[in-house]
Chains A and B, each alone.
Chain A
Amino acid sequence: MRELTYVEATLEALDSAMARDPSIFVVGEGIGERGGNFNTTVGLYEKYGPERLCDTPISERGFVGMCAGAAMTGTRPVVDFMFLDFILDAFGELVNQIAKMQYMSSGRLKMPILLRGAIGIGHSAATHHSGSYYPIFAHLPGFRVVVPAIPSDAKGLFATALQSDDPVLFLEHKSLLFNRGDVPEGDYTIPFGQARIAREGSDCTLVAIGSMVDKSVSVCDKLAEDGISAEVIDPRTIAPLDMATVLESVNKTGRLIIVDETFQPCGVGAEIAAQVIDQGFDDLDAPIRRLNGAHVPTPYSPPLELAIVPESDDIEQCVRDLLAE
């Protein structure tokens, strides 16, 4: 199979969908001729022109609200935020309008809007270019929240997002964007709410999100040399969340760690833990552990930045400690 980067994989899905469906258009800063800060739209402007690859002023609330109106009237906007942090200027449009529109209109309106942006800590991006925010969106009724970890998933989930009649947040960790991986040719979709078992194992379950998936798999490969068999689950979508796969795994392993770069309080790990306690309490042989980024804004200096993200050593130690319980 040929290899593509994560970004090239989403670009392939976008190009194919735009060729088929003339109602899809992309807005964002520098996504026209320039092809996007992260190369998310390279080559599309030449094919589809300025109305479908629409460069915007720095007017996030404006173009998000505008795209809500477009989605209500027969087109399928893709909003490319570059850095997801910029979405916050449009938070009211997202929460009060986009997420609620289908409900308010008793299903008479659809809201086919795809909101994409780079998330995550790294490269000394500092605190206005490092946020992930997905627990906030997953908390609210009305959003689909997608956090792919590998290129082939990125393509299939992006294709699904482009067909969705619900608002989708498609969040791409910066450290993954130029990772290469096998990506099938041709069109395919991956349904939302279907986790991927990234590594099979029987002693302990790790639910890892986004950039934590590959990191956790590497740690578990290393632990296998010591006879430890750990399973890594990549939920792929935070909303909907595939709890069935998590519960099945915990039933097998009896132990659960959630590894997530975003904040611990009221986070995805808290939700997964609560649901496992509700529905799989008797399967647990040890307390549930959570490994998260520190509950602070993202610092700039490399040693400070490194100190707030769960690293491979932290994951390894957590697994060893939990198995000793």
Chain B
Amino acid sequence: MAQSEQLLSLYKQMLIIRYTEEQLARSHQMGLIHGACHTYVGEEAIATGVCAHLRPDDAVFSTHRGHGHALAKGVSPREVVAELFGRATGCSQGRGGSMHLFKPEVGMMGTSGIVGPCILQAAGAGYSFKLLKTDQVGVAFFGDGAVNNGAFHEGLNLASIWKLPTLFICENNLYATEVPFSYSSGNPHVGNRGPAYGIESLTVDGNDVLAVYEAAEEAVQRARGGEGPTLIECRTYRTRAHAEGMRDAGYRTQEEVEEWKERDPITRYNEWLLENEEAGTETLAAIEAEVKEMVADAEEFGRNSPWPEPETVSEHVFNQR
């Protein structure tokens, strides 16, 4: 069980993700974001609960829906917002945008526009750490859309045979873009696929930050201790459209969306903190105010940041030593 300070830090982290993305959605409507913007609204508990156990030298590999992973791994809202605004101060200096957020200095090894490769790359980080005899771990975050891709099969098998220190975190939000997982998967469960590869696996409520936190704690300990990988299916839901500006209809009902909004991970956690007297309303309000200010500052920073210089466009195709 997390300590009080940690409990509040989980709350703050979820709010950083939520408020940053709500700001990104507004900025997208204003035309400040030039490309795609897939939000993580409703899924914040997962990145928060997992990354709470990671050190800056642990490596996270993420997906197209990766703002939450970047923020939870320690990329600042300023760097995320500036990157989506296409500015030189963004975490990828304007070369990436939403789907290519990188900050290896804090172990954020990239979000990706392709579904699946993060699973293999996280296994590769595990291979490095095993070879170099460190106790670091590699973590892949991916959606239900990735689990019927060959990368999942190959990556889990490789991690299993070499007992790699890797966590495979499946964020099952029930839809791959707009195709239901119930339609696209012969096996409707992800959390029971571990035995097929000889690895540990389980399913948790992905909208319960403490459930994720506890499952991840055990998996990280297992990985650091040389006991191999774990697959964790986190059942969750994205309450906004697949991407900002996209029509969000024709594949799910408004009733379903409303039902999941009732299970909002932040509201639930807020209530839990109050009920269990882990925090008072004033403390939580102070955290909310602090995060709002942080996000307003990030937006302003992004908007006022310089554009990248066109002369630099060919830099970094190759290593420049």
Contact B109 A73 (CB under 8 A): yes
CB distance from A79 to the nearest CB of B (A): 11
Q: List the B side residues contacting A62 at CB < 8 Å.
A: 120, 123, 150-151, 153-155, 157-158
New contact pairs (19) apart from A104-B102, A107-B320, CB-CB < 8 Å:
A61-B154, A63-B158, A68-B124, A69-B126, A70-B124, A72-B109, A73-B109, A73-B124, A74-B128, A77-B124, A93-B117, A96-B117, A104-B95, A105-B100, A105-B102, A107-B315, A107-B319, A165-B319, A166-B319
CB < 8 Å neighbour of A51 from B121, B131, B320: B131
Contact A92 B319 (CB under 8 A): no
CB distance from A88 to the nearest CB of B (A): 14
* B132 adjacent to chain A (CB < 8 Å): yes
Task: Tell me the bound Cα distance from A105 to B95 in angstroms.
Answer: 7
Closest 9 CB pairs of A and B: A69-B124, A65-B120, A62-B154, A69-B121, A107-B316, A105-B102, A165-B319, A70-B124, A106-B93
Number of inter-chain CB pairs below 8 Å:
159
Which of B120, B132, B315 has the most A CB atoms < 10 Å from its CB?
B120
Q: Which B residues fall within an 8 A CB radius of A?
A: 59, 61, 92-96, 100, 102-105, 109-110, 112-114, 117, 119-132, 136, 138, 150-151, 153-155, 157-158, 161-162, 315-321
Contact A72 B104 (CB under 8 A): yes
Task: Tell me the bound Cα distance from A224 to B120 in angstroms.
Answer: 55
Answer whether A96 and B317 are a contact pair too, CB < 8 Å, given A66-B120, A69-B138, A73-B129: no
Q: List the B side residues contacting A59 at CB < 8 Å.
A: 154, 157-158
Tally of chain A residues near chain B (CB < 8 A): 46
* A235 adjacent to chain B (CB < 8 Å): no
Task: Tell me the bound Cα distance from A267 to B90 in angstroms.
Answer: 38
* A141 adjacent to chain B (CB < 8 Å): yes
* A25 adjacent to chain B (CB < 8 Å): yes
Contact B317 A72 (CB under 8 A): no
Interface residues of A in 240-284 (CB under 8 A from B): none
Interface residues of A in 24-72 (CB under 8 A from B): 25, 51-52, 54, 56-57, 59, 61-72
Contact A69 B61 (CB under 8 A): yes
List 6 A-B residue pairs with CB atoms under 8 Å apart, sorted by A's residue number: A25-B131, A66-B158, A69-B120, A70-B127, A102-B317, A105-B104
CB distance from A144 to the nearest CB of B (A): 8
* A109 adjacent to chain B (CB < 8 Å): yes
Contact B117 A92 (CB under 8 A): yes
* A108 adjacent to chain B (CB < 8 Å): yes
- Chain B: CB-nearest residue to A55: B161
Interface residues of A in 133-184 (CB under 8 A from B): 141-142, 144, 164-166
Task: Tell me the bound Cα distance from A144 to B318 in angstroms.
Answer: 9
Task: Tell me the bound Cα distance from A69 to B59 in angstroms.
Answer: 9
- Chain A: CB-nearest residue to B138: A69
- Chain A: CB-nearest residue to B122: A69
Task: Tell me the bound Cα distance from A269 to B39 in angstroms.
Answer: 47
Task: Tell me the bound Cα distance from A73 to B318 in angstroms.
Answer: 17
- Chain B: CB-nearest residue to A107: B316
Q: List the A side residues contacting B95 at CB < 8 Å.
A: 103-106
- The contact string, 1 if C-beta is below 8 Å from chain B, for chain A 218-252, is 00000000000000000000000000000000000
- Chain B: CB-nearest residue to A69: B124
Q: List the B side residues contacting A199 at CB < 8 Å.
A: none
Contact A108 B128 (CB under 8 A): no
CB distance from B146 to the nearest CB of A (A): 12
Task: Tell me the bound Cα distance from A292 to B317 in angstroms.
Answer: 30
CB distance from B94 to the nearest CB of A (A): 8
Q: Which A residues fall within an 8 A CB radius of B?
A: 22-23, 25, 51-52, 54, 56-57, 59, 61-75, 77, 92-93, 96-97, 101-111, 141-142, 144, 164-166
CB distance from B96 to the nearest CB of A (A): 5
Task: Tell me the bound Cα distance from A109 to B320 in angstroms.
Answer: 11
CB distance from B66 to the nearest CB of A (A): 13
Contact B151 A75 (CB under 8 A): no
Q: List the B side residues contacting A164 at CB < 8 Å.
A: 319
Contact A104 B318 (CB under 8 A): no
Task: Tell me the bound Cα distance from A108 to B151 in angstroms.
Answer: 25
Contact B121 A57 (CB under 8 A): no
Task: Tell me the bound Cα distance from A25 to B129 in angstroms.
Answer: 13
Q: List the A side residues contacting B112 at CB < 8 Å.
A: 97
Q: List the A side residues contacting B123 at CB < 8 Å.
A: 62, 65-66, 69
Which of B114, B127, B132, B150 has the most A CB atoms < 10 Å from its CB?
B127
Contact A105 B110 (CB under 8 A): yes
CB < 8 Å neighbour of B321 from A51, A97, A144, A165: A165
Contact A65 B121 (CB under 8 A): yes
Contact B131 A66 (CB under 8 A): no
Task: Tell me the bound Cα distance from A80 to B211 in angstroms.
Answer: 42
Q: List the B side residues contacting A107 at CB < 8 Å.
A: 315-316, 319-320
Answer whether A104 and B110 are a contact pair too, CB < 8 Å, given A62-B158, A68-B117, A166-B318: yes
Contact B124 A104 (CB under 8 A): no
CB distance from A77 to the nearest CB of B (A): 8
Contact B102 A68 (CB under 8 A): no
CB < 8 Å neighbour of A72 from B113, B124, B150: B124
Contact B131 A142 (CB under 8 A): no
Task: Tell me the bound Cα distance from A93 to B129 in angstroms.
Answer: 21
Q: List the B side residues contacting A56 at CB < 8 Å.
A: 158
Q: List the A side residues contacting B130 at CB < 8 Å.
A: 51
Contact A108 B102 (CB under 8 A): yes
Q: List the B side residues contacting A23 at CB < 8 Å.
A: 131-132
Q: List the B side residues contacting A96 at CB < 8 Å.
A: 113-114, 117
